[in-house]
Structure 1
Amino acid sequence: MVSKVLIANRGEIALRVLRACKELGISTVAVHSTADNSAMHVRLADESVCVGPPAARDSYLNIPQIVAACEITGADAVHPGYGFLSENARFADILEAHQLTFIGPTAQHIRTMGDKIEAKRTAERLGIPVVPGSPGAVTDNDEALKISREIGFPVLVKASAGGGGRGMKIARTEADLPMALATARSEAGAAFGDDAVYIEKYLEKPRHIEVQVFGDGKGNAIHLGERDCSLQRRNQKVWEEANSPALTQEQRDRIGTICAEAMKGLNYRGAGTIEFLYENDEFYFIEMNTRLQVEHPVTEAVTGLDLVHEQIRIASGQGLSVTQDEVTFTGHAIECRINAEDPRTFVPSPGEITHYHAPGGLGVRIDSAVYQGYRIPPFYDSLVGKLIVYGRTRDECLMRLKRALDEFVLDGIKTTLPLFRDLVANESVQRGEYDIHWLEHFLEGQAG
């Protein structure tokens, strides 16, 4: 087992990793910017190192400073959390060159899955069902039009290096295609430094289903079931649940087995999430995230497994703690991402938290690093915390979620808590009848 872990992140995920390390008897090092001097993970870590000013590029993305912090403190491993450097292959390579353990996949797997075109090719080779589309990047409009006609409009133009909905445009007709290509290329170049785009069939009303996988890097792999992340705003997940209310047991077993077998074929190491669009009983691969997901707690709730413990075990060479036959699924879990944003306009709302009371009771979990008197800085993601609720059934889970949301007090800033109170009372949500466009229409209706 590694002996000292440097946590190259901030906020709730840094605290989540810190707690897992403490439970395993592993010393922790918190790195932080000057804006996070009073952050909870800095207060609770065994050691802390300031790695730069508030801007992420000068602190949490500053690889030389993070490596130097490892050398200063004697840390022998780095956990990147999610975001920041978690899917940076160069960072993984540099840590390996310095004989530091990267608690994540190999750099090669990060590179392969970070390129959306190569990821799709790899998925297809491994037997994962993919969305019909171009075999690679499209370089001119004539080629794009030919491919689009073959698969049929509407089509989706996507950035090869994209994420978070950037560099993604819909062309519903042939006339829309040139503008969609130009806009997607421009956005991709500005956001990712790579303007390569590809084309996929646009699915009208799909759900977003993802499968959690783990591999030991030696040909063994398992799946930990699926999560339904269909409630989204601008391609950003808002509400996630496990298991999906849309799937039968046969369907979840089938797609889970396909994903686990694919990870065995890839000799994948660590945690990963394979994401699909699901429509008309068919799964279509869209991407793979080679890191821990924000929504991992709902999987922990229904399996009883600690996913961060599992990551650390695998990185330490101890392999998987369970076989597929030993994984059991019970009950239902829902996660709400609570952001420091106006619940109507979604404008960020940094500032001081004047009153804070987290809900509790059976089946209620809060993953958050905030506290009363904490000032949310304006420099980073607006996530304040995650409310995760578990019940024996989905109905019980929804009732418990309603109760927990009613208990939650977070004053001094605007948050998205009112949105979740509206969602849990909505009949379509209660029935589990929604797709990836549902929330956008719901919000438009509220605004109207």
Structure 2
Amino acid sequence: MPAPASRLSDRISSIAPSATMAVDAKAKAMKAAGEDVIGYGAGEPDFPTPDYIVDAAVAAAKDPRFHRYTPAAGLPDLRQAVAEKTTRDSSYEAESSQVLITNGGKQAVYAALASLVNPGDEVLLPAPFWTTYPEAIQLAGGRAVDVFAGPDQGFKVTVDQLESALTPRTKALIFVSPSNPTGAVYSPEETLEIGRWAAEKGLWVITDEIYEHLTYDDVPFTSIASLPELADQTVIVNGVAKTYAMTGWRVGWMVGPQDIIKGATNLQSHSTSNVANVSQAAALAAVTGPMDAVEEMRTAFDRRRRTMVEALSAIPGFECPTPKGAFYAYVDVRGALGRSFGGSVPQTSAELAELILERAKVAVVPGEAFGPGGYFRLSYALGDEDLKNGIDRIHRFIEGA
């Protein structure tokens, strides 16, 4: 008999689940079962959302204006505030008509690709990459073309690498700085060189700026969208999740040329309609409010970053470059592979991560989730005590091999 047909569409069957969310879910399930698990998997600040933002949401929840549908593209005040913030922080002159408020930054990524990519188009994707990018490209009918930059390059691709990957079918480049998963930050010179190359080649650039306020060691954030010649072929995706500890509020945005934003708004009007009004009111307070709480969180992340890099670098077989942005360490664990751990000999970072979860009760995300294997991503957006204890467990496990 022929094999039964899948009940799912081919489009949905082809999507891989989010590896980062899967690791986080497994760690939480083990905790719920009574196991003492420390998780470095999710990119989620452990801080509460600042009080002034929560207060704005409470007030909005009591306002009958927000109990009804509002424009699919977002509350006018929030769109205007995001336009002004983008002009200020990204040096990209934006008007409110160039802003779409989305259900988190992830929906902005999907909407941008769905609005730009046709079946068969290729999208240059610097690797290591965030797990959602290749899946969103595929959902849009495109093909991700990975361009890998290892630790010898600071995890940053070059124009020569991008040029080598270019074909007549190349439509767009995804550019991310600061980077998830590596914490790499492109210098102003590197950013603008890549931007000029993309402009010369006539490529669209989708720039994810969700970690723009999280850089360290006086390293500046530079938006590739600030390049004037890219203005009409750039889409910025961003949101409040990481900067303001608002991952659960689900507010992101997409900024770009009016025709692209109009098309993406049409898509959203038929998929989710408007973002929850209470969340939009909270986002408005965040975007227009003071940055004091943000700076306090950044200072804590910086302290944890230095602690994590020092502790990971002391583990035999681990090499941990110092990240300059976001809140992740991307550690090279190839030197620990092929060794025996209680009779198990992991050959890949995925196998080693599984052993560490099972035996040391520590959850990390293996490099296979982000491109080539041989690496771990660990988030330092968790409490200082857990951060230290978790790495101590990994150290004892590796040394006990």
TM-score (norm 1): 0.28
The answer to which structure has the higher helix fraction is 2
The answer to which structure has the higher strand fraction is 1
TM-score (norm 2): 0.30
